[in-house]
């Protein structure tokens, strides 16, 4: 089996080039699912919530934060057990909108 080494930035960039809807899926309710995807490839990944409104999950990898848009900055909090339970219920829907999701292309 061949092992491929790729940075989170390169992976996210390549994933975004696959289909326009990738970004929409992971910014409209499936941000926790994106963390789970990254966790499979980066075992040290940890989920964090945006501190200001607690409605968007980002992934911390090696002291940097990421979502489907790439590296992000801001204030984030580690997820509590209650947060994880809630975030696992979040699903993609065109109607699920958060501040990040409201971006239109």
What is the count of structural domains for the chain?
A: 1
The residue assigned the tokens 């696959």 is 18
Splitting the chain (105 residues) into consecutive groups of 10 residues, what average pLDDT does each group show?
Answer: 86 94 90 96 96 94 97 96 93 61 45
Question: Looking at the domain assignment, is residue 15 inside a domain?
Answer: yes
Give whole-number Cα distances, 90 to 18, 78, 105, in Å: 23, 17, 23
Query: Alpha-carbon distance 99 to 30, whole Å?
Result: 14
Q: What pLDDT score was predicted for residue 65?
A: 98
Domain of 43, in residue numbers = 8-87
In a domain, 96, yes or no: no
The answer to whether residue 50 sits within a structural domain is: yes
Task: Enumerate the β-bridge partners of residue 78.
Answer: 48
Judge whether 1 lies within some domain: no
Tell me how far apart the alpha carbons of residues 32 and 21 are, in angstroms, rounded to a whole number: 17
pLDDT at 49: 96
Q: Which pLDDT score is estimated for 28?
A: 86
pLDDT at 86: 93
- 22 falls within a domain: yes
101, part of any domain:
no
Q: Which of 89, 48, 82 is nearest to 65 (CA)?
A: 48
Please indicate, yes or no, if residue 104 is contained in any of the structural domains.
no
């Amino acid at each position: 089996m061949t092992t491929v080494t790729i940075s989170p930035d390169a992976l996210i960039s390549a994933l975004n080039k696959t289909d326009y809807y990738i970004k929409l899926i992971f910014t409209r309710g499936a941000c926790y699912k994106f963390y789970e995807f990254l966790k499979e490839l980066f075992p040290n990944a940890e989920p964090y919530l945006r501190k200001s409104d607690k409605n968007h999950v980002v992934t911390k990898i090696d002291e940097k934060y990421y979502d489907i848009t790439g590296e992000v900055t801001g204030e984030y909090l580690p997820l509590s057990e209650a947060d994880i339970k809630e975030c696992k219920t979040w699903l993609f829907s065109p109607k699920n909108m958060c501040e990040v999701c409201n971006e239109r292309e």
